[in-house]
Structures are given as structure tokens and as C-alpha cells.
Amino acid sequence: MTTEVIITGTGSPVPDADRAGPGVLVRSGDLALQFDAGRSTVQRLAAVGMWNLQLTAVFATHHHSDHLTGLADLVLSHWVMARGDDFTPIQIVVPAGPAEDYVSEMLHPWRHDLAVRAEHSRRSRTVEMELTAFEVPESPTEVWRSGDVAVSAGQVRHEPVFPAVGYRVSTPDGDVVITGDTLVCDEVAELAAGADVLVYEAMLFPQVEQGPPIRHFILDYHADTRLIGPQAAELGMPTLVLTHLIPAPAAASGPLQRPGAAVSEHDFESPIREGGYTGDLLVARDLDKVVLEAGVPPRIERRD
């Protein structure tokens, strides 16, 4: 068996033709787990051959809109593309609080659309979800399990947004940690200790500091690349993946290249290496992946 970690979106609230909103797909055996669902998540899943009905569960890290705007699309598509009433409701797992409220209410504006579709197609069931909300634990705690694959949640530092969590996916092939949005903090280190892959949000603080002062507030709650490197080095992390890239760099090559971007992927890599990290490093583009197999070091695969 292998486990794939596919970066479905590397973007931020800033619209970008090349980068979908934040998201990570972890496929392990028959399980397909989506972590966050920013804009265009459905399209990115389609690009890797993921039919919506194949998703096992969706997990949200926090209630910021850029991490959730694709969730209603995902749930609606899951139901619309099903045939008849024979389908399994999608599982959604979120920290209790605002994210729970959002998921509970997000389909209400679509009630008329859902009603006419159900009547016209003679379906007795409308959209259903299995919503699980958990209280944020003081230390990483298991919140979901299927067989030998478990998902644990741990609090991270994204104040004033609360609650905010990261997730650790434990599989027979290895462990993957997804930070969500956070400062570089001890909480991330606790969640990630001993993992094989760490998917970390990343911001170039000097570039943001040189930008308009009205945007400097975002420095309060994102991960500084100058601090990510030392933490990943101290953890001995085999593979580090940077995503939610602010500001977004131009791709080095390929059909989605953005000429003229203010920063490059090298600008993200440099402070990580200068911080002492010597492991495998991926400044992610949408649909890049890391493959895990038991007893084998993680393998980075760039998108075609």
C-alpha cells in the first residue's frame, strides 16, 4: 500500500489563476481525506481523477473563508452527481465553534435549488452530511479513525482566529502533518514530532513588510519562513512542503507559469535552508505530491 499527499491548492485569499485555495488530499488505500477546501477544490480533485463520491471525509482547520469557500461546491457536487438515492453522505469533521456553524448553515441558501432538483429527478433524499465537531484538545488527540488510518487534531496559533487546528494523519506508510494557518509555534512542533511529512503554510515576512502598511496585520498570524527552517531542522523532518504561499511565487516552469511575479520559489527555499533545514523541501505548486511507502523515504513528485 502507498499513501499519497496531494496539494490540491497552494493559494491564499488573493485570487490567482494558477493556485486554487488551500487544500491537501491524503489518499491511503481506499481512503481519500481532504483537508480544507478552498476555491476550485472540486476542479483540482477532478484533475487527479478523484470523483466526488470517492471522498471519504473532509476536515477543516479553521473558519477563514479561503479555506472553506470550496466546501459547499464539494458537498453540492457530491449530491448532484450521485445517481438516485443510493449514495453515502459525506463526512465532515471540524473543530467545534464557527466552522461547525458554517457547515451547518452553508446549504441553506441553496434550499430552493436542492428542492427543485430533488423533485425533478424524483429523488426522495436531499443533500445529507455527517457532521462531526470536536472540542479543541490541549494536546494532539485522535478525532477520526478508519481501520489503521487515524487523524489527530492539535491546536495551532492563528489568533485572533479561534479555534484553529492542524491535523496529523497516521497511516501504515507513515505520518503526515498539515498545519493549516498558524504561527511557527511549540504547538506545531508537538503535533509534528516524529512525522514523515510536514505540510506548512509559509509567508515571506520581509516582502510583506515592504508592502502596504494596511496589509501588515497578516504578519500577526502566519508562519515566517525564517522560523520554519530551524523548527523543521530541530524536528529532523524528512520532508517539508510549503503551501498557502504569501506572496505567491511564479512557477519555475510548466503551463501555469506566472511571468513577472514579484518573488520566486527560490525566495521561499533560501530562508528555509539558511535556517538549517537539510531535508527534502518542496515549494508546492497545485497538484504536486509526496508519496509514502512503509520502509522507504518519502518521494516528491512534481505535477506533469
Which residue is listed with cell 478525532?
Answer: 143
CA distances from 222 to 83, 176, 177, 217, 260 (A): 42, 20, 17, 10, 25
**What CA–CA distance (Å, rounded) separates 59 from 37?**
8
The verdict on whether 66 is a catalytic residue reads yes
Which residue is listed with cell 504578519?
Answer: 219
**Could you say which of 16, 18, 36, 66 is catalytic?**
66
Non-local CB neighbours of 253 within 8 Å, separated by 6+ positions: none
Which residues pair with residue 289 across a beta bridge?
6, 301
**What CA–CA distance (Å, rounded) separates 100 from 94?**
6
- The crossing angle, in degrees rounded to 10, of helices 265-274 and 225-235 is 50
Is residue 73 within 8 Å of 24, Cβ to Cβ? no
The residues annotated as belonging to the active site are: 66
